[in-house]
Structure 1
Amino acid sequence: MGAGKLPVLRVGEWVRFDGDEHQVVALAGTSVRLRSRGGVAQVVLLAFLLAAADFELLDEQQAVPAVEPLGLLETLPHEVLERARRWERHLVEVVTGRAPEAPEGAGPRPGYDPAASTLKDRDAAKAVELSAAGQPTSARTVTRMRLRYAEQGLWGLVDQRYTRGSDPVGRADERLVTAIRAELDAQTHASTGTRGRLMRRVRTALDAEHGPGVVPIPGRSAFYELVGVLAGGRHSFGAATTRRSLANRPVAPFTPTFATRPGELVQIDSTPLDVMVLLDSGVPGRPELTMVVDVATRTIAAAVLRPAGTKAVDAALLLARTLVPEPMRPGWSAALRMSASWLPHTRLLDIDARLETAAAKPVIVPETIVIDHGRVFVSEVFTRACDRLGISVQPARKGTPTDKPLVERQFSSIASLFCQHVAGYTGGNVTRRGDRITDEPLWSLPELQDLLDEWIVAGWQHRPHDGLRDPHAPRRAFSQNDAYAAMVAVSGYLPLTLSRTDYLELLPVHWRHVNEYGITIDHRTYDDDALPHGERSTVAEQGGRWEVHYDPYDLSHVYVRTPAGWITAAWTHLPMVSAPFADFTWRHARRMAAARGLPDDNETEVARVLDELLTRAGNGPPNKATARVAARTRAARRRVLPEAQVIDLPTPAPAPGAGPAPVEPFGLFDVDAEAERWL
C-alpha cells in the first residue's frame, strides 16, 4: 500500500465544491454545513458533496492513497509484473520495518527497525542488500522507487518501457500523415481505388503544397503499412456503399429512436426487393417494396409491392392500409386469425367491428411519420394525405439513414428471412446473384404480394424481436404481437375509418377550367352532363379553376369537386380503348405516335395507338419497353385496397323534366385493329 493516511472530512477542513472553496463548519448525520470564503452558508448531503465532479479536499497534509489501475496491470507481461511485486515487498520492509512474508510476531531485521534508523538509512541498507544479491542498486534508486510507490502504488514500480503508449503512425512525417488523411477523406464519396492511386495523389498534393521532394515519401511497403493504420475503420478500399454508410453514422453519443405506444412514431421508406417477379407480359423485373414500420412494436403496419417507380399515390394509399385490419385470405390457416392470437381480440372487437374476420396483425394509427427526402414522400399528394389523416410528418436529415434505422434494418430482415427463400431471389448485389435467375419459375407480382402478406402475419408478427424486452424481465424477448398487446392495454385503441370520400381526397389533384367541351388534362378530354360547363369555381386563389382528382393508375375517369359534391367525368375516347390505362401508359403511347409521324397531341390518334398497345401486349409485345409499360399497367390495376376505400360513386340522378339518360355511343370500328386481333 502507498504511504500516507486516509483523507478524513473534519470540521474546519477546506474543500473545493461548486466552483468555490468552502470550509466545513458542522457535520450532522449525513448533512454537511459549508461556508464559502465569501461568507455564504449552505447545507448539502454528504453523498452529494463527495460525488460532485469538482469536489476536492484542500488539506495538503492528508495524502490521498493511490488507486492502482488493475486493468492496465493485467495487460503487462508476467515477468514485468513479478519484478514490480518484488520491488513492492522490498519497499514495504523499508517503510514498515517488516517484510510482507515475515512470520507473525517476528521483529524487524537489523538495519530496518524504524525506531533505530531513519528512512534514508533504510534506503541505503536496502541498496546494499540488493547489490549483494546480484541486482546493482543505489540508495537514490531505492528512494525514487519508494516515492513513486507512495504516489502510484504498484503501477509506479512497473518498468516504464512497458507502460509507454506507442504512436500508431510511428515516426512518420506529420505533413505526410496530414496529406494521407486528407486524401482518405476525399475518397468517402469517390469510386473505390487502389493504394497505388492514393500514393500518387498524396505525392502530387505534397509537391504542390511544400515543393517537389521537400516531404520525403517512404517506400511502397512502408507507405502501404502507414495507410493501413490511418484507414482503419474507413473501408477506403472496399465497397463504396459501405464507405458512404460508415461516413453517415451519427456522431456519438446519440439517443436511439424509441416510442412507448403503438403509432406514436412510424417510419416509411421504399427499396427494390431482392426477388425477380414475372410481370403480366412475361418480362421479369424487380418490384419495389414500400413499407411502414411502427417503432414501438416493430410491427410492419403495411407493405406493398409495385413495379419499379413507386408513385406518391402509392405511398398515400399505403398509409390508408395501415388504418384498416388485415383481412384473412382464402387458403390461410385458421391459426392466423386475430381471434386465435395473443392480441386482445374480444376487447378490441367491442370497439372496432372490422376485427371480427381480421388476421393476427395489429391496426396501427400513426401519429408521427418519419420520411426521407425522396420525391414520393415530399410530394404534395403524400403530405396532403398525412394532413388529411392527422399525421405529423418529420423529415429525416439528408444523407442520414440512421434517422430512420428501424425501417432500414427491416428491409435487411425481409431479405434474409423472406426473400432468400423465394424463387427468383437475386441476392443483395450482383456479386451474390446467380447467372440464370430468370430461367427458373418466377412468381407473379400479385402472387408475391400474397406470399409477403402471409409471411408478415404468420412469421414476422410472431417472431421474438431482440429490441422488444420487458425492463422487469430483460431476458425475455417479445414478439411484435406481444408488445402490441401489452402497450394497447395501457395506451388504448381508437379506430380511424376511411370513407369513400376520404379515398378521393388521397388522390393527386389538378386545377382545371371546365369548358363547354369538358376538362382537358395532358391532351385528354373528360366530360359529363353534370359538370358546371363554362362556370367559374368559387376558389378565388385558383382563378376560377376547379379541383380535379385523378388516379394515375386508371385515367379512364376523373373526379371533380363541386359545391353539390363529387362528379365523376369519363374520358371522351374511352370507348376506343379496350382496357383501363395508367399515366405512364399514356405517355408511352404518345411517344409511339410521334415515332410513327403522327401528332402526339391529337387525342384520337393517340387513343388508337393506346388501344393497339394494350391489345398486342397479351400476345407478345414487339420490344421490352412496350412490355414493361403494359405489365406495369396490369399490375397496378390489380392493387389490393381496403374494402372501405373502394370507389363506388352513385350515378347522378337525371334532372327533373330531362329525357331518358343519354345512350353511350359505340366506338368507331377500326378495320386494321380488328384484323390484327384475328391474326
Structure 2
Amino acid sequence: MCGRWRRGSRAGPAGAGPRGAEYGPQTRTPAQREEAKAAELSAAGMPTGAVTVRRMRARCRQDGVRGLVDHRATRPRTALGRANERVVAAVREVLEAGRERSSGTLGRLRVHTERLLAEQYGQGVVPLPSSATFNRLAHALADGRGLLDSARQRRWRSARPAPPFVPTTVMAPGELVMTDSTVLDAFVVLDDGVVERPELTIALDVATRTIRAAVLRAKGGRSVDAAQLPAQMTVPAPMRPGWAEALAMETPGGAVRAAAERGCPLEGAAARPVITPQTILVGQGKVFAACESLGMCVQPAPPGNGPAKEHVERTFSSINTLFVQHVAACTGSHTGERGKDAEGEAVRTPARLDDLLQEWIICGRQEREHDGLRHPVTPRCALSPKDGGGADRRVRVCPGATGP
C-alpha cells in the first residue's frame, strides 16, 4: 500500500487502479497526497485523517506491511493499566500499613499516598493520577484481599474459618444428609402457659433437597427429643389424624411389595420419601450422639463454618419465607421486623405447629420446583424434591434402595 501511495495509484492490487491526478508526484506535495488518500478512505467508509495516513506511511517504511496492522487489540492489558510504578508501590505500601487501622475512605488513602511519595522522592516529583484513575488503581490492588473493607469487615474476615477444601458433589439420594437446628421465628404456647420460640431441627437430603425429618420442640430439649430426628429418617412418616387422603403415599404394587420384603410396609404412610442415609453431616451434640448410636456414618461439621452447611441454612430461610410468615405469632427475623403484639397472637402449642409444619413439608415443600434440581436430559427444566432430581420415584420410596 505504501508503494501505491508513492506511485499515486488508487486502492487495490498494485497497478490495478488508474493513477489519479490528486496523487501525481510531479504536481502534488506529499502533504497534499496524504490529504487525498485520507479523503478517499473516508469516502469509502473508513474515517481517516491526514495525520493518520502520515503515521501509517512512516510505519510502512520502517516495518513494511506488518507496520500497518492495528496492534491495539493484541496489546497486553493489566488491571493496573499504565500507572506509574512508583505510584503503584506507594499505594501497596499504604494499603498494607492500613490493615489494622480504623475504617477510612479512598480520600484518606490518596492523602497518605501523596505524603509517602513526597517523603521518598520529593514534593511534586511523582504526581498522582486523577481521582477516578487513582480509585480504580486502589481497587485493583486491593481486589480479593479486603484491604478496602471496613474495620469490622476485616475483623470478621480474619476470624472466619477457612471454607472446605473442595465442594461436595452428591449424585445419589441418601449419599449426604445435612442436619442443623435453629430457633423458629414464631411464638408457641407451652403446657405451663409460657410463650416462647421453639427450636426446629431438620435433616435435609442434599441430592433431592428433601426435608427427610423435622423435629419441633421447646428450646433446651432433652436427648430423647434429638433422637427423634434419626428415628424419622429410618421409617416412613405415618399419616396423622385430620390429614387429607391426598397426602398419602402413592406407590405402585411392586414398590409396596419391595418395601414389605424389607420389613417396612408403606400402607398408611404419608407421601414423604424414605431415604436411607449413608453419611450425615451434623453440627449439634445431641443429634451427633443419637446418629452414632444407630450406626450411621457421622461427619461433624466445622464449628462456625456456615458454608459447610449452606444447603440446610438456605432451607431454613425457605421455611421462614414460605411457611412461618403465614403462621400467627410470627416474630420476623429480628426485633425490628416484629409486630406490636406478636406474643399475644400465640395460640398454638408446639405439637399443633409441628403438625402444620409436617403437612406443609409434604404438600408444599415437596411439590415446589427447586432451581438446584436438574436432570441431565432436560437441564432447562427445574424439578421438585418430589421428582428426586430426576431419580425414579420407586427408587426413592423403597427403604434400603439407596442405602449403603
Give TM-score scaled by structure 2 length.
0.69
- SS of 1:448's equivalent in the other structure is helix
User: How many corresponding residue pairs?
Assistant: 351
Larger radius of gyration, structure 1 or 2? Answer: 1
Q: Which one of 345, 348, 358 corresponds to residue 440 of structure 1?
A: 345
Match of 1:165 in 2: 81
Q: CA offset at residue 392 of structure 1?
A: 0.9
Distance 1:131 1:420, change over 3 A: same
Residue of structure 1 aligned with 2:203, choices 270, 285, 292: 292
2:269 aligns with 358
Conserved in 2, the CA contact under 8 Å of 1:269 and 1:371?
A: yes
Query: What CA distance in whole angstroms lies between the structure 2 residues aligned with 1:92 and 1:271?
Result: 81
Shift of 1:168: 12
CA distance 1:241–1:430, shift in 2 (3 Å) = farther
TM-aligned CA deviation for residue 338 of structure 1: 1.0
Which residue, 22, 34, 54 being the options, matches 1:130? 34
1:451 offset after TM fit, Å? 0.8
Are the structure 2 counterparts of residues 256 and 105 from structure 1 closer, same or farther at C-alpha, using a change threshold of 3 Å? same
Does structure 2 conserve the Cα–Cα contact (< 8 Å) formed by 1:271 and 1:288? yes
Percent same amino acid among aligned pairs? 37
Structure 1 residue 280 corresponds to structure 2 residue 185: no
Answer 1 or 2: which has greater strand percent. 1
Structure 2 residue 376 is the aligned partner of structure 1 residue 376: no
Distance 1:454 1:164, change over 3 A: closer
Q: 1:460 aligns with which of 362, 365, 371?
A: 365
Query: How many Å separate the matches in 1 of 2:300 and 2:379?
Result: 33
What are the residue-to-residue correspondences of 1:157-196 with 2, within 5 Å? 165=81, 173-180=91-98, 182-183=99-100, 195=104
Three-state SS of the structure 1 residue aligned to 2:267 is helix
Higher relative contact order (CA 8 A, sep 6+): 2
Matched, 1:348 2:255: yes
Q: Distance in 2 between matches of 1:434 and 1:227?
A: 47
Kindly indicate whether residue 16 of structure 2 is the aligned counterpart of residue 107 of structure 1: yes
2:380 is paired with a residue of what secondary structure?
strand
State how far apart, in whole Å, the 2-side matches of 1:168 and 1:289 are. Answer: 58
Question: Contact conserved, 2:80 with 2:137, CA < 8 A, in 1?
Answer: no
Letter aligned with residue 147 of structure 1: R
Task: State the match for 2:25 in structure 1.
Answer: none
User: Structure 1, unaligned stretches of length 5 or more?
Assistant: 1-89, 112-124, 185-192, 204-209, 217-221, 497-679
Q: Which residue of 2 aligns with 1:449?
A: 354
Q: 1:399 aligns with which of 304, 323, 329?
A: 304
Judged with a 3 Å threshold, the aligned counterparts in structure 2 of structure 1 residues 308 and 280 are, in CA distance, closer, same or farther, namely same
Tell me how far 1:268 sits from its aligned partner: 0.8
For 2:182, give the aligned amino acid: T
Cα distance in 2 for partners of 1:482, 1:334 equals 20
Residues 214-257 of structure 1: CA deviation (Å, up to 9, x unaligned): 999xxxxx8x9699944889594599699669956748xx7543
- Residue deviations 1:101-142 (CA, integer Å, cap 9, x gap): x5x99814659xxxxxxxxxxxxx998743665623254344
Structure 2 residue corresponding to 1:471, chosen from 376, 379, 399:
376
Deviations 1:426-484 (A, max 9, x none): 22233333343213244221111111000001100111111111111112222112117
1:467 aligned counterpart, secondary structure: strand
Distance in 1, Cα, partners of 2:329 & 2:120: 59
Structure 2 residue runs of 5 or longer lacking an equivalent are 21-28, 39-48, 124-130
- 1:92 Cα offset (Å): 11
Give the alignment partner of residue 426 of structure 1, picking from 331, 336, 356.
Answer: 331
Distance 1:423 1:396 in 2: 34
Give yes or no for the alignment of 1:140 onto 2:58.
yes
CA contact (8 A) 2:255 2:394 kept: no
How is 1:223-234 mapped onto 2 (pairs within 5 angstroms)? 229=139, 230=142
Letter paired with 1:425: C
Q: Larger % of helix: which?
A: 2
Mapped partners of 1:482, 1:330: distance in 2: 26
The alpha-carbon deviation at position 357 of structure 1 amounts to 0.8
Q: Specify the code of the residue in structure 1 equivalent to 2:73.
A: W
Q: 1:176 to 1:419 in 2, by over 3 A?
A: same
> Secondary structure at 1:466's aligned position in 2?
strand
Report the secondary structure of 1:289's partner residue.
Answer: strand
Distance in 1 (CA, whole Å) between partners of 2:234 and 2:325 is: 30
